[in-house]
Amino acid sequence: MPAQATLLQFFKQS
Amino acid sequence: MFEARLVQGALLKKILEAIKDLLTEASWDCAQGGIQLQAMDNSHVSLVSLTLRSDGFDKYRCDRNLTMGMNLASMTKIMKCCGNDEIITMKAQDEPDTVTFMFESKNGDKISEYEMKLMNLDQDHLGIPETDYACVIKMPSGEFARICRDLSQFGESMVIACSKNGIKFSTSGDIGTGNVKLAQTSSVDKEEEAVIIEMQEPVTLTFACKYLNNFAKATPLSPVVSLSLSPDVPLVVEYKIEDIGYVRYYLAPKIED
Protein backbone atom coordinates (compact mmCIF):
# COMPACT_ATOMS: atom_id res chain seq x y z
CA MET A 1 0.00 0.00 0.00
CA PRO A 2 1.47 3.39 -0.90
CA ALA A 3 1.80 5.84 1.99
CA GLN A 4 0.46 9.38 2.05
CA ALA A 5 3.25 11.93 1.56
CA THR A 6 3.06 15.43 3.01
CA LEU A 7 3.73 18.67 1.17
CA LEU A 8 6.68 19.37 3.47
CA GLN A 9 8.54 16.59 1.63
CA PHE A 10 8.29 18.63 -1.58
CA PHE A 11 8.09 22.31 -0.69
CA LYS A 12 10.40 24.38 1.47
CA GLN A 13 9.01 26.22 4.45
CA SER A 14 9.73 29.93 4.16
CA MET B 1 -6.97 51.51 5.58
CA PHE B 2 -8.19 48.55 3.57
CA GLU B 3 -11.38 48.43 1.54
CA ALA B 4 -12.40 45.98 -1.19
CA ARG B 5 -15.78 46.08 -2.89
CA LEU B 6 -17.09 43.23 -4.97
CA VAL B 7 -20.39 43.76 -6.80
CA GLN B 8 -20.57 40.03 -7.48
CA GLY B 9 -20.61 39.20 -3.79
CA ALA B 10 -21.64 35.64 -4.57
CA LEU B 11 -18.08 35.02 -5.76
CA LEU B 12 -16.70 35.49 -2.26
CA LYS B 13 -19.37 33.17 -0.89
CA LYS B 14 -18.36 30.52 -3.43
CA ILE B 15 -14.67 31.01 -2.62
CA LEU B 16 -15.35 30.39 1.05
CA GLU B 17 -17.38 27.27 0.26
CA ALA B 18 -14.39 26.06 -1.75
CA ILE B 19 -11.90 26.32 1.13
CA LYS B 20 -13.79 26.11 4.42
CA ASP B 21 -13.82 22.31 4.66
CA LEU B 22 -10.06 22.02 4.11
CA LEU B 23 -8.97 24.84 6.39
CA THR B 24 -10.17 25.83 9.83
CA GLU B 25 -8.37 29.16 9.76
CA ALA B 26 -6.32 31.14 7.26
CA SER B 27 -4.51 34.43 6.82
CA TRP B 28 -5.74 36.81 4.16
CA ASP B 29 -2.75 38.86 3.03
CA CYS B 30 -3.84 42.17 1.58
CA ALA B 31 -1.56 44.40 -0.49
CA GLN B 32 -1.94 46.94 -3.28
CA GLY B 33 -1.91 44.20 -5.90
CA GLY B 34 -4.71 42.26 -4.28
CA ILE B 35 -5.50 39.58 -1.73
CA GLN B 36 -3.63 36.32 -1.29
CA LEU B 37 -4.20 33.36 0.95
CA GLN B 38 -1.95 30.36 1.33
CA ALA B 39 -2.66 27.67 3.90
CA MET B 40 -2.21 23.95 4.41
CA ASP B 41 -4.77 21.63 5.92
CA ASN B 42 -3.98 20.32 9.41
CA SER B 43 -2.33 17.16 8.12
CA HIS B 44 -0.04 19.10 5.73
CA VAL B 45 -1.17 16.92 2.82
CA SER B 46 -2.93 19.65 0.83
CA LEU B 47 -2.53 23.37 0.38
CA VAL B 48 -4.88 26.09 -0.79
CA SER B 49 -3.45 29.04 -2.70
CA LEU B 50 -5.92 31.80 -3.51
CA THR B 51 -5.18 34.96 -5.47
CA LEU B 52 -7.68 37.80 -5.98
CA ARG B 53 -6.20 40.65 -8.00
CA SER B 54 -7.08 44.19 -6.99
CA ASP B 55 -8.19 45.07 -10.55
CA GLY B 56 -10.87 42.38 -10.32
CA PHE B 57 -12.62 44.30 -7.52
CA ASP B 58 -15.04 47.13 -8.27
CA LYS B 59 -13.24 49.26 -5.73
CA TYR B 60 -9.97 48.43 -4.01
CA ARG B 61 -7.84 50.37 -1.59
CA CYS B 62 -4.99 49.06 0.52
CA ASP B 63 -2.75 51.75 2.02
CA ARG B 64 -0.56 49.37 4.00
CA ASN B 65 0.05 45.66 3.64
CA LEU B 66 -1.93 43.78 6.22
CA THR B 67 -2.57 40.22 7.26
CA MET B 68 -5.96 39.24 8.54
CA GLY B 69 -6.13 35.90 10.32
CA MET B 70 -9.66 34.57 10.09
CA ASN B 71 -11.49 31.63 11.54
CA LEU B 72 -13.25 30.27 8.45
CA ALA B 73 -16.18 28.79 10.38
CA SER B 74 -16.90 32.27 11.76
CA MET B 75 -16.50 33.80 8.30
CA THR B 76 -18.92 31.19 6.93
CA LYS B 77 -21.54 32.23 9.50
CA ILE B 78 -21.20 35.82 8.34
CA MET B 79 -21.27 34.93 4.64
CA LYS B 80 -24.52 33.04 5.21
CA CYS B 81 -26.04 36.43 6.10
CA CYS B 82 -25.20 37.72 2.61
CA GLY B 83 -27.70 37.27 -0.21
CA ASN B 84 -26.41 35.83 -3.47
CA ASP B 85 -27.20 39.03 -5.35
CA GLU B 86 -25.73 41.37 -2.74
CA ILE B 87 -22.61 43.51 -3.00
CA ILE B 88 -19.83 42.75 -0.51
CA THR B 89 -17.37 45.28 0.88
CA MET B 90 -14.57 44.16 3.21
CA LYS B 91 -13.09 46.89 5.38
CA ALA B 92 -10.31 47.08 7.96
CA GLN B 93 -8.11 49.68 9.60
CA ASP B 94 -4.32 49.51 9.44
CA GLU B 95 -3.08 46.96 11.97
CA PRO B 96 -6.61 45.71 12.51
CA ASP B 97 -8.16 43.63 15.32
CA THR B 98 -11.38 43.23 13.36
CA VAL B 99 -12.65 43.11 9.79
CA THR B 100 -16.03 44.44 8.71
CA PHE B 101 -18.15 42.81 6.05
CA MET B 102 -20.80 45.08 4.58
CA PHE B 103 -23.56 43.61 2.42
CA GLU B 104 -25.65 45.89 0.21
CA SER B 105 -28.75 44.95 -1.72
CA LYS B 106 -28.57 45.79 -5.44
CA ASN B 107 -30.92 48.76 -5.11
CA GLY B 108 -29.17 50.03 -1.98
CA ASP B 109 -32.29 49.75 0.22
CA LYS B 110 -30.71 47.36 2.68
CA ILE B 111 -27.25 47.45 4.21
CA SER B 112 -26.00 44.87 6.72
CA GLU B 113 -22.72 45.11 8.56
CA TYR B 114 -20.92 42.33 10.43
CA GLU B 115 -17.70 42.85 12.31
CA MET B 116 -15.54 39.81 12.95
CA LYS B 117 -12.64 39.47 15.37
CA LEU B 118 -9.33 38.62 13.73
CA MET B 119 -6.81 36.07 15.00
CA ASN B 120 -3.04 36.00 15.21
CA LEU B 121 -2.05 32.96 13.20
CA ASP B 122 1.35 31.35 12.91
CA GLN B 123 2.11 31.45 9.24
CA ASP B 124 3.53 28.35 7.63
CA HIS B 125 4.30 29.74 4.21
CA LEU B 126 5.67 27.26 1.73
CA GLY B 127 7.92 28.13 -1.18
CA ILE B 128 6.40 26.39 -4.17
CA PRO B 129 8.91 26.00 -6.99
CA GLU B 130 7.96 26.78 -10.57
CA THR B 131 7.47 23.42 -12.25
CA ASP B 132 7.06 22.35 -15.85
CA TYR B 133 4.48 19.64 -15.46
CA ALA B 134 4.66 16.45 -17.50
CA CYS B 135 0.88 16.50 -18.09
CA VAL B 136 -1.62 19.35 -17.93
CA ILE B 137 -5.25 18.36 -18.33
CA LYS B 138 -8.09 20.82 -18.86
CA MET B 139 -11.55 19.37 -18.46
CA PRO B 140 -15.09 20.38 -17.47
CA SER B 141 -15.11 20.98 -13.72
CA GLY B 142 -18.49 19.28 -13.32
CA GLU B 143 -17.12 16.12 -14.93
CA PHE B 144 -14.13 16.10 -12.58
CA ALA B 145 -16.42 16.56 -9.55
CA ARG B 146 -18.61 13.68 -10.70
CA ILE B 147 -15.66 11.33 -11.27
CA CYS B 148 -14.26 12.12 -7.80
CA ARG B 149 -17.64 11.55 -6.20
CA ASP B 150 -18.37 8.33 -8.10
CA LEU B 151 -14.98 6.69 -7.60
CA SER B 152 -14.63 7.64 -3.94
CA GLN B 153 -17.48 5.25 -3.18
CA PHE B 154 -15.14 2.34 -3.91
CA GLY B 155 -11.88 3.21 -2.22
CA GLU B 156 -9.88 5.80 -0.37
CA SER B 157 -7.36 6.30 -3.16
CA MET B 158 -7.65 7.21 -6.79
CA VAL B 159 -5.07 6.54 -9.47
CA ILE B 160 -4.83 9.20 -12.17
CA ALA B 161 -3.02 7.99 -15.27
CA CYS B 162 -2.48 10.41 -18.12
CA SER B 163 -1.15 9.50 -21.54
CA LYS B 164 -1.51 11.06 -24.96
CA ASN B 165 -4.60 8.93 -25.60
CA GLY B 166 -6.47 10.18 -22.58
CA ILE B 167 -6.83 10.14 -18.83
CA LYS B 168 -7.85 7.20 -16.71
CA PHE B 169 -9.15 7.61 -13.17
CA SER B 170 -9.35 4.33 -11.27
CA THR B 171 -9.97 3.01 -7.80
CA SER B 172 -10.44 -0.26 -5.97
CA GLY B 173 -11.83 -1.30 -2.62
CA ASP B 174 -13.70 -3.98 -0.71
CA ILE B 175 -16.70 -4.07 -3.03
CA GLY B 176 -14.74 -4.05 -6.26
CA THR B 177 -13.15 -1.66 -8.69
CA GLY B 178 -14.13 1.25 -10.87
CA ASN B 179 -12.55 3.35 -13.56
CA VAL B 180 -13.41 6.23 -15.84
CA LYS B 181 -11.52 6.95 -19.05
CA LEU B 182 -11.71 10.29 -20.79
CA ALA B 183 -10.43 10.72 -24.32
CA GLN B 184 -9.03 13.99 -25.54
CA THR B 185 -11.78 15.90 -27.32
CA SER B 186 -11.26 16.02 -31.09
CA SER B 187 -13.51 18.95 -31.84
CA VAL B 188 -15.83 21.01 -29.70
CA ASP B 189 -18.13 23.95 -30.08
CA LYS B 190 -17.52 25.18 -26.57
CA GLU B 191 -14.03 25.20 -25.15
CA GLU B 192 -15.31 24.70 -21.61
CA GLU B 193 -16.73 21.30 -22.60
CA ALA B 194 -13.44 20.02 -23.98
CA VAL B 195 -10.93 17.60 -22.52
CA ILE B 196 -7.51 18.89 -23.53
CA ILE B 197 -4.25 17.15 -22.69
CA GLU B 198 -0.82 18.74 -22.98
CA MET B 199 1.65 15.96 -22.40
CA GLN B 200 5.44 15.81 -22.27
CA GLU B 201 5.53 12.30 -20.82
CA PRO B 202 2.93 9.92 -19.41
CA VAL B 203 2.29 10.13 -15.65
CA THR B 204 0.57 7.83 -13.19
CA LEU B 205 0.02 9.00 -9.62
CA THR B 206 -2.14 7.98 -6.66
CA PHE B 207 -4.11 10.45 -4.52
CA ALA B 208 -6.47 10.38 -1.56
CA CYS B 209 -10.08 10.74 -2.75
CA LYS B 210 -11.21 12.79 0.23
CA TYR B 211 -9.00 15.73 -0.74
CA LEU B 212 -10.02 15.60 -4.39
CA ASN B 213 -13.66 15.70 -3.29
CA ASN B 214 -12.86 18.72 -1.15
CA PHE B 215 -11.21 20.50 -4.09
CA ALA B 216 -14.29 19.81 -6.21
CA LYS B 217 -16.23 22.15 -3.91
CA ALA B 218 -14.72 24.91 -6.06
CA THR B 219 -16.73 23.68 -9.06
CA PRO B 220 -19.24 26.59 -8.92
CA LEU B 221 -16.33 29.01 -9.43
CA SER B 222 -15.41 27.84 -12.92
CA PRO B 223 -16.72 25.59 -15.71
CA VAL B 224 -13.16 24.37 -16.34
CA VAL B 225 -10.62 22.76 -14.04
CA SER B 226 -6.98 22.10 -14.84
CA LEU B 227 -4.96 19.24 -13.36
CA SER B 228 -1.15 19.47 -13.54
CA LEU B 229 0.83 16.30 -12.89
CA SER B 230 4.46 15.27 -12.85
CA PRO B 231 6.03 12.09 -11.52
CA ASP B 232 6.43 12.14 -7.73
CA VAL B 233 5.42 15.75 -7.13
CA PRO B 234 2.20 17.24 -5.76
CA LEU B 235 -0.80 17.52 -8.06
CA VAL B 236 -2.09 21.03 -8.81
CA VAL B 237 -5.84 21.48 -9.29
CA GLU B 238 -6.70 24.97 -10.51
CA TYR B 239 -10.00 26.79 -10.89
CA LYS B 240 -9.89 30.24 -12.47
CA ILE B 241 -12.19 32.78 -10.81
CA GLU B 242 -13.65 34.90 -13.60
CA ASP B 243 -11.54 38.03 -14.18
CA ILE B 244 -10.29 38.28 -10.63
CA GLY B 245 -7.90 35.40 -9.95
CA TYR B 246 -7.74 31.71 -9.16
CA VAL B 247 -7.83 29.10 -6.46
CA ARG B 248 -5.17 26.39 -6.67
CA TYR B 249 -5.01 23.28 -4.59
CA TYR B 250 -1.82 21.27 -4.15
CA LEU B 251 -2.06 17.64 -3.09
CA ALA B 252 0.84 15.41 -2.06
CA PRO B 253 0.68 12.03 -3.79
CA LYS B 254 0.65 8.64 -2.12
CA ILE B 255 4.06 7.10 -2.65
CA GLU B 256 5.67 3.70 -2.16
CA ASP B 257 7.71 3.53 1.04
Nearest C-alpha in A relative to B256: A2
Helices (H) and strands (E) in chain B, counts: 4, 20
pLDDT score, position A3: 93
Radius of gyration of chain A (CA): 9
Check A4 against B208: CB less than 8 A apart. yes
| Amino acid B125: pLDDT | 84
pLDDT at B107 over 90: yes
Neighbours of B142 (CB within 10 A): 16
Contact A12 B126 (CB under 8 A): yes
Shortest alpha-carbon distance between residue A3 and chain B (Å) = 5
* ipTM attached to this prediction: 0.95
Size of interface A-B (CB pairs under 8 A): 55
In this predicted structure, what is the pLDDT of residue B152?
Answer: 96
Dist. CA B230–CA B251, nearest whole Å: 12
CB A7 within 8 A of CB B40: yes
Which residues in chain B touch residue A3, judged by CB atoms under 8 angstroms apart? Answer: 254-257
Instruction: State how far residue B209 is from chain A, nearest Cα, in angstroms.
Output: 12
Residue B59 near residue B4 (C-beta atoms within 8 A): yes
Q: Give the CA-trace dihedral at B213, B219, B222, B228, to 10 degrees.
A: 10
CB B44 within 8 A of CB B211: no
Chain A environment of B47 (Cβ under 8 Å): 7, 11
DSSP H helical segments within chain B, as ranges? 9-19, 72-79, 141-151, 209-215
- Which of B27, B126, B174 is the mutation pick for testing A, counting most A CBs within 10 A? B126
pLDDT value for B210: 97
Using a CB-CB distance cutoff of 8 angstroms, which residues of chain B are in contact with residue A5? Answer: 45, 252-255
* pLDDT tens-digit readout, B73-101: 999 999 999 999 999 999 999 989 999 99
Tally of CB atoms within 10 A around B81:
12
Q: Is residue B137 over pLDDT 90?
A: yes
The model's pLDDT over B12-52, given as tens digits with 9 standing for 90+, comes to: 999 999 999 999 999 999 999 999 999 999 999 999 999 99
pLDDT tens column, B217-255: 999 999 999 999 999 899 999 999 999 999 999 999 999
Q: Do B45 and A7 touch (CB under 8 A)?
A: yes
Residue B136's nearest CA partner among B250, B238, B229 is B229
Q: Which residues contact B126 (CB under 8 A, 6 or more apart)?
A: A7, A8, A11, A12, A13, A14, B38, B40, B47
Residue-level pLDDT at B170: 98
pLDDT in tens, B165-197: 899 999 999 999 999 999 999 887 888 899 999
Q: pLDDT-derived band of residue B65, with 50, 70 and 90 as boundaries?
A: very high
Rounded to a whole number, what is the distance in Å from the CA of A2 to chain B's nearest CA? 4
Which pLDDT score, from 0 to 100, does residue B256 have? 82
Question: How far apart are alpha carbons B142 and B105 in whole angstroms?
Answer: 30
- Tell me if A2 and B255 make a contact (CB, 8 A cut-off): yes
pLDDT of residue B155 exceeding 80, the answer is yes
